[in-house]
Amino acid sequence: MIENQKIRPAKVIGPLGEPLTLDTLPPPDTTRWVVRRKAEVVAAVNGGLLSVDEVCERYGLTVEEFAGWQRAIDRSGMPGLRVTRIQHYRSLYERQQKY
């Protein structure tokens, strides 16, 4: 029975250093995904507040879309989440990998 219980933190540290809880995450009906909101959702998963499956169900995302957010943060930090700069950061990352 204990294996089925998941221990979750009550809060995690967000991308800007603020505490994040389930109540302070973006609302489930969010349609406009700005950089800060994407980063908060990624931080919630990385901190164990929510699982990837829960995030995808809650926000209507695909696993691939969420994984893209995670990759963007890993590669370029929060600026990598900016939709208008995806190509720029992708080419920078690819150049860095060559050297």
Report pLDDT digits (tens) over 1-57.
455 557 889 999 999 999 999 999 999 999 999 999 999 999 999 999 999 999 999
Which CATH code, of 1.10.10.10, 1.10.1370.10, 2.30.110.10, 3.20.20.110, is assigned to 12-94? 1.10.10.10
Give the helix/strand (H/E) hosting 13: strand 12-13
Q: Is residue 80 within 8 Å of 89, Cβ to Cβ?
A: yes
pLDDT at 84: 66
Which pLDDT band, with edges at 50, 70 and 90, does 58 fall under? Answer: very high
Token pair listed for 63? 């696993």
Domain map (residue ranges) of the chain: 12-94
Give the helix/strand (H/E) hosting 20: strand 19-20
- Give the model confidence (pLDDT) of 89-98 as tens digits: 666 667 777 7
* The amino acid at 23: D
| Average pLDDT score over residue span 64-83 | 90
